[in-house]
Structure 1
Amino acid sequence: MTQRIAIIGNGPAGIEAATVAARAGAQVTLIGEGPVGGRAGWHSLTPSKVWLTAADTYGLFQEAAQLGTVVTGARPDPQAVLARIRAVTAAWNEQQAASLRRLGVELLNGVAAFSGPHSLTVQAQDFTHTVHADAVIVATGSVPRFPPGMQPDGERILAPRFASHLAQLPPDVVVVGGGATGTEFAYLFNRLGLRVTWVLDQAGILPRFAPDVGRFLADVMARRGVDLAIGQPATAIERNEAGITVITRDGGRHTGSMAFLAIGRTPDLARLALDAAGLSPGPGGGLETDAYGQTRVPGIYAVGDATGAPMLANRATAQARIAARHALGLPTPPFRPETVVHAVYCEPQVAQVGTLQTASNQLLTVRLPFTAGLKGHLLAEGDGFVELAYDKHDRRVVGGVAVGPHAADVLAPVALAIAWGATVEQLAEVAGAHPTVSELAFLAAQEAGPWVRRSQP
């Protein structure tokens, strides 16, 4: 059994791997460039979610009349949000660091690089440390990708890492990028009262999701006043006295006080000296692994964003748990990507899990509106839907998509059904608490049951 494990990267995946390994009795060294929490905990994921929570809350004030309440005087306060970001990030990351220290994890700050398959050199500000390990887990995360002519400056051209420094809200903003982060921030800025222009390439909104999701969100955002510029990618950004101008490939020009770039991310592997370990990135830019996270070099694992897309925190932590157990020789199931819920925290929230369609057309689907349950009416949720996919032969649940309040929570039982190989009939037998949005997954399964009388063609 492996006794010494070194983990490079102290974000969510690294923390999870260290926790699992230490609880199993391993000697664990966790290496990060800064405090425990990593870039996600301090500069991107957590700060953005604090902003999104503020936007959701402010949005409830705007919709209060629909819920039978009159509220006046509410306004977004960036300084208060920044103070909350500092409080939440400090509390959460210190909680995780304290837990690791109690488990006996050695915490090193510095930049790690391979000096061999089982040895690392950690360069800190005032010392160089050598770490030997039976297994190494690479959990270095990812870094933003910016094409030439589109670099953030921290003033008028921002990227997600500046979320914890957004002390003032401009009157308008041009958001570039239609992935999860671009979608969240287009929603965030619009919800907080900014005029938003959303520049999207030909892939449109959330291209990794079912096509209906992107179309649904496009309609919602347009009704809320977002100016959608779809079909031409941004190629350059000009600064001027009034603010910025985003230029698209066809020569289109979109002006605003500020630009927000969410174009994409790439695995952060450049400083690892992978060749010293006999490794190199794969075609997608990440390290290629098997279902247990092991690379082609025995004893070296990679998890999370270091393995490429999709770059999701819950995917990363799931991979980290499996890699840590496998490195220790403990029984563990392989990673199953079909059980990972992909969520986007705009409002309406969007989530997807598993498979929704196949080329062989072996799947059946059933769709319900959010108002199929009482909770949808209580939330004044006239839009939104839940769709369940299942195999038409063995009737096992294989996927789901939800658009509406707490959509990710709606799909939690669907993910569990996929993991356990449950049929729609078995899912239908569960009764969720009433009234809750979680009922929708069970209601959809009931709708798919063989006991439901189908209309004649």
Structure 2
Amino acid sequence: MANIVIIGGGPAGYESAYVADSLGASVTLIDYDAPGGACVHYDCVPSKAFIASSEVVSNTRHADDLGIRMPSPDEITVDAPQVYNRVKELARAQLADVTAGLAKTKVTVVRGRGRLLATEEHGSHPVEITPEGEPAYTVEADVVLLATGASPRVLPGAEPDGERILNWRQVYDLPELPSKLIIIGSGVTGAEFANAYTEMGVEVTLIASRDRVLPHEDGDAARLLEDSFTRRGMTILTHGRAKTVQNTGDGVRVELADGRVIEGSHCLMTVGSVPNTTDLGIEEAGVEVDDGGFIKVDRVSRTSVSGVYAAGDVTGVLMLASVAAMQGRIAMWHALGEAVAPLQLKTVSSNIFTHPEIATVGIGEKTIDDRDMDVRSVTMPLRTNARAKMAELDDGFVKLYARPTTGVVIGGVVVAPHASELIMPITLAVRQRLTVQQIASTFTIYPSISGSISEAARRLIEHDDLD
């Protein structure tokens, strides 16, 4: 029986534990907190629950457009403590579900910390386990999976204090909503919180280090969202790099590298993540990392050391819970001799939970431009969709990318409410190498937002070389 030690209890950790247990391995899962990881504790689950509350406010604000008389936008109030408590309760409920799921297996869960020791000559991997409040002990593992995740990056001179200067894991402890929130960082996390707080009536200033928000996303989608932000009253400062953030006692003072100064009630730092590799023993074990400190892995999650795998945010490979979980599963399938397909990043869909949402999958405009690829594309504005018209939805579109001559769909973008649900048909098309002809000939509900996907496919067929 293979002895497997998993360090880290997030999606990469607990999903790999399920797989290893089902294949008959002896599994020890180590985490300093309850299984669930930062995704459930602080990140995905809490943030999306918080965003869900902001969506209700947004829908209420625009009820008049549909003939529903509601209080004026200024009369809508948000009970911040109740919102934050709900967020925490949902996180606790999800943690309980993960714990209950593991309790049904033979997995040994240790609350504490684990670290690699120098690998023995015979190939086993000694792991030092330090349970909370108990002395450390060492076990010999045939396979080790490192799944310790990542933590918010801290900028020198802008260290979070949990009071006025915050990272995204600290906002739920505020006694009330900020009156004037400055958000530093306009990537996915920054954009999501900027959107949510704006919808809740908070005055938001979003500081982007480049020339636009979401610099790594589809340009059309990013520009549309930026325009939506501005129309809703958000202030966006581009080419802004934070030099210092100071807690002034009753607010914050942010100084940018170019001399600009912004003042507000609170500052939220969303400037990326760093891998959790401190005291993990990777140096002693010879595990290689990249320039950013993330553990290097191949497409089946192997590190540079035989028998040691890594998965999730600690690898820096598309820092998504879905990718982390798949990396963990693949690691166990490979380690235990099961047939396994390597991770295929081009089939991974992702979503930005703003208003509207932005969902993408497959090859996008940056890759197409960088490689000078011969690709056909079409964009269908949401305002031409009958269902969108009925719901007064103006902002958004569906975009498809396809190969010429073959018509195989290689990517897509959906910008719309609940784009996270609408991207699935395009993800399936990319995964199964479906053609625009096949999508165009598939029935869709009328009226429906998803009808724009088949309509986009029909428009692509109009190209002579896709006939």
Q: TM-score range by the shorter chain?
A: over 0.9
1:244-303 CA deviation, whole Å, 9 max, x = no partner? 111111000011011011011011112211023221312232111111111121211111
1:261 aligns with 2:269: yes
- The 1-side partners of 2:178 and 2:88 are apart by 22
- The 1-side partners of 2:332 and 2:351 are apart by 25
Residue equivalent to 1:26 = 25
Check the 8 A contact 2:30/2:109 in 1, yes or no: yes
- The 2-side partners of 1:442 and 1:166 are apart by 45
1:439 aligns with 2:441: no
- The 1-side partners of 2:233 and 2:323 are apart by 34
Check the 8 A contact 1:410/1:439 in 2, yes or no: no
Residue pairs, 1:144-163, within 5 angstroms: 144-163=152-171
Aligned-residue sequence identity (percent) comes to: 32
1:453 is displaced (CA, Å) by 12
- The 2-side partners of 1:432 and 1:110 are apart by 51
1:203 is displaced (CA, Å) by 5.2
1:409 is displaced (CA, Å) by 1.7
Check the 8 A contact 1:410/1:440 in 2, yes or no: no
- The 2-side partners of 1:107 and 1:232 are apart by 45
1:375 aligns with 2:387: yes
Give the stretch that moved more between structures: 128-137 or 211-220: 128-137
Q: What code does the residue aligned with 2:461 have?
A: G
Residue equivalent to 2:43 = 44
Check the 8 A contact 1:48/1:163 in 2, yes or no: no
1:112 is displaced (CA, Å) by 1.0
Unmatched 5+ stretches in structure 1: none
1:351 is displaced (CA, Å) by 1.4
Residue equivalent to 2:415 = 403
1:194 is displaced (CA, Å) by 0.8
Residue equivalent to 1:121 = 128
Residue equivalent to 2:222 = 214
- Which of residues 132, 141, 144 is equivalent to 1:133? 141
1:417 aligns with 2:438: no
Check the 8 A contact 2:312/2:328 in 1, yes or no: yes
1:162 is displaced (CA, Å) by 0.8
Check the 8 A contact 1:7/1:30 in 2, yes or no: yes
Residue equivalent to 1:87 = 89
Q: What code does the residue aligned with 2:20 have?
A: A
- Which of residues 169, 175, 190 is equivalent to 2:198? 190
| Counterpart secondary structure, 1:140 | coil
Residue equivalent to 1:57 = 56
Check the 8 A contact 2:404/2:465 in 1, yes or no: no
| Counterpart secondary structure, 1:161 | coil
1:235 is displaced (CA, Å) by 1.4
Number of residues of Structure 1 aligned to a counterpart in Structure 2: 453
Check the 8 A contact 2:224/2:395 in 1, yes or no: no
Q: 1:316 to 1:203 in 2, by over 3 A?
A: farther
Residue equivalent to 1:351 = 359
1:287 aligns with 2:299: no
Residue pairs, 1:249-398, within 5 angstroms: 249-357=257-365, 358=368, 359-398=371-410
| Counterpart secondary structure, 2:221 | helix
1:450 is displaced (CA, Å) by 4.7
Q: 1:94 to 1:222 in 2, by over 3 A?
A: same
Q: 1:434 to 1:183 in 2, by over 3 A?
A: same
Q: 1:245 to 1:186 in 2, by over 3 A?
A: same
- The 2-side partners of 1:87 and 1:337 are apart by 33
- The 2-side partners of 1:87 and 1:379 are apart by 32
Check the 8 A contact 2:288/2:303 in 1, yes or no: no
Q: 1:344 to 1:278 in 2, by over 3 A?
A: same
| Counterpart secondary structure, 2:169 | helix
Residue equivalent to 1:175 = 183
| Counterpart secondary structure, 2:117 | strand
Q: What code does the residue aligned with 2:448 have?
A: T
- The 2-side partners of 1:87 and 1:356 are apart by 37
Q: What code does the residue aligned with 1:54 have?
A: S
Check the 8 A contact 1:406/1:437 in 2, yes or no: no
Check the 8 A contact 1:409/1:438 in 2, yes or no: no
Check the 8 A contact 1:13/1:316 in 2, yes or no: yes
Q: 1:194 to 1:326 in 2, by over 3 A?
A: same
Q: 1:20 to 1:209 in 2, by over 3 A?
A: same
1:451 is displaced (CA, Å) by 8.2
Residue equivalent to 2:6 = 7
Check the 8 A contact 1:305/1:312 in 2, yes or no: yes
- The 2-side partners of 1:123 and 1:145 are apart by 26
RMSD: 1.9
| Counterpart secondary structure, 1:445 | helix
Question: Given the two structures, how large is their TM-score scaled by the length of structure 1?
Answer: 0.95
Question: Given the two structures, how large is their TM-score scaled by the length of structure 2?
Answer: 0.93
- The 2-side partners of 1:382 and 1:450 are apart by 25
Unmatched 5+ stretches in structure 2: 120-124
- Which of residues 150, 157, 165 is equivalent to 1:142? 150
- The 1-side partners of 2:285 and 2:450 are apart by 47
1:110-167 CA deviation, whole Å, 9 max, x = no partner? 1110013422112223221323222111111101111110111011111111133132
- The 2-side partners of 1:124 and 1:434 are apart by 57
Give the stretch that moved more between structures: 232-241 or 179-188: 232-241
Q: 1:15 to 1:443 in 2, by over 3 A?
A: farther
1:447 is displaced (CA, Å) by 2.1
- Which of residues 97, 101, 122 is equivalent to 2:99? 97
